[in-house]
Amino acid sequence: MKPAPFGYADPTSLDEALTLLTEDGAKVLAGGQSLLPLLSMRLASPATLVDINRIPGLDSVVVTPSGDGAGVRVGALVRHVELLHHAEAAQVQPLLARATSNVAHPAIRNRGTTVGSIAHADPSGEMTSVLALTGGSVTVATPAGSSAVGWADFFVGPLETSVHGPAVVTEAFFPALPPRTGTAFEEVSRRKGDYAVCGAGVTVTLDEDSRVTSARASYISVGLVPEVHDLTDAVVGQSVDSADWTAAGALARTLVDPDGDLHASADYRRLLVGVLTERTLARAAQEAQNR
Amino acid sequence: MIVSTERTISVTVNGVPRETTVPARRLLSDALRHDLQLTGTHVGCEHGVCGACTVLVDGTPVRSCLVLAVQVDGKAVTTVEGLARDDGRGGEILHPVQEAFRECHALQCGFCTPGFLMTMAAGLEARDRSTDITEDEVDEIVGGNLCRCTGYANIKKACRHAAGLMKEAAE
């Protein structure tokens, strides 16, 4: 349970980091809360760890409340705990604080980074699904320059993204929540703070007469990559107080394709998708009335 | 930029400046125990699940098995050995969480205790001491640490007791 030997570098600029990452077997180290266990269990044994923690300019949360580019930009070194307590960011995109409160335990959130958990692309990670549900993107820096990659093009498989070769994910962008839209996030886990057996993040949008115009959901620990499911058909045009959230839950159950494992069977996960969808949509709809 | 397989690091541990040379792959938990001979920090699962190795880095609780020793170069680390205060007469005054653990019988074998103490001390120091602690707060504070002996009832009791002691001290 000790990492295999590796070389370590802690560059102080992004250019230096990218140069170091051109070497074979070099890997980025940010918060390390997923990477270190992988190293200790020898599931990964990179030749070099490029620690980005000393690079300035990657630790800011930039909130743009409205207009062009409205949303929250999260730098690669922003820890989960900072998003959890960021009141301005929660105002513009409430899913950030809601989801980060479900990320592991305080000691892990103090160290783990939100962008790192997205780059890790674990299907049981909260922030990958939030990036998808909000229609977000990441900024990927390579020696050739920086470019934005939308969430759908970024996630390729479990623990796999479309980014190959020397690259650092420098930022994640979560678009602002539209008006008359509410959100909710809930997980079921075996132990408090543990990986979710199943989790759901949802958004509900209402029109001026409080009728549902959109209901969308993204799930945690269900499927191989984050997906966004449109559940609007089950509740479209229905009034917020009498909408058939059970029907939306039933629809969600037909759209997902969960796997079974030691912790839960596929059928149990599918059941949880229905239950969590029904509960969270109802809460999100109530919230949407007040936004 | 140099890639190194070994580094000399300077760390302030429990208020004392220390210097040690470690391989790059050395976990902070192992550096504390093996290189600095501070065996109060316990190593349980070694992959971030059990919380036994929790220490404070610059005042913030982290799992020392999920941090490399080279990453704390220039930082301040507090371990369970540094939790009690010097009483100025050659003895020590226990931290309220240590007091509470003794009072509430919150340990049996004691293996998980250092991690609980560090997590709880940081959690209680971060909260508003003028208010009574809620059950949700207690669950949030102790939820990330595993204990196989106590069944947690007395650990949670100790958390409430320590919060009470700290509230009294703040009044």
- The domain spanning residue B75 has which CATH number? 3.10.20.30
pLDDT band at B1 (very low <50, low <70, confident <90, very high): low
Residues facing residue A51 across a β-bridge: A29
Pull the structure tokens for residue B102. 């003794």
The reported pLDDT for the residue numbered A69 is 94
Domains of chain A with bracketed CATH: 7-51 (3.30.43.10), 61-175 (3.30.465.10), 181-289 (3.30.390.50)
User: In a structure prediction context, what are the per-residue pLDDT tens digits for chain A, which is 291 residues long?
Assistant: 899 999 999 999 999 999 999 999 999 999 999 999 999 999 999 999 999 999 999 999 999 999 999 999 999 999 999 999 999 999 999 999 999 999 999 999 999 999 999 999 999 999 999 999 999 999 999 999 999 999 999 999 999 999 999 999 999 999 999 999 999 999 999 988 889 999 999 999 999 999 999 999 999 999 999 999 999 999 999 999 999 999 999 999 999 999 999 999 999 999 999 999 999 999 999 999 988
Residue B18 within any structural domain of the chain: yes
The reported pLDDT for the residue numbered A181 is 98
The reported pLDDT for the residue numbered A193 is 86
CA distance A249 to chain B (A): 29
Quote the CA–CA distance of B141 and A160 in Å, as a whole number.
33
Count up the domains in chain B and report the number. Answer: 2
The verdict on a CB contact (< 8 Å) between B25 and A110 is no
CA distance A207 to chain B (A): 36
Do B38 and B51 lie in one domain? The reply is: yes
CA distance A28 to chain B (A): 13
Do B74 and B53 lie in one domain? The reply is: yes
Domain around B156: 85-170
Where is the domain boundary, B44, B64, B82? Answer: B82
ipTM topping 0.85: yes
Quote the CA–CA distance of A22 and A143 in Å, as a whole number.
9
Rounded to 5 degrees, what are φ and ψ at A134? -85, -5
Do B156 and B100 lie in one domain? The reply is: yes
Q: In 3D, which of B5, B143, B4 has the Cα closest to residue B61? A: B143
Please write the tens of the pLDDT for every residue from B86-138: 999 999 999 999 999 999 999 999 999 999 999 999 999 999 999 999 999 99
Quote the CA–CA distance of A138 and A151 in Å, as a whole number.
7
Residue B1 within any structural domain of the chain: no
B16 touches chain A (CB under 8 A): no
Quote the CA–CA distance of A111 and B144 in Å, as a whole number.
14
Q: How many beta-carbon pairs under 8 angstroms link A with B?
A: 101
Where is the domain boundary, B82, B103, B123? Answer: B82
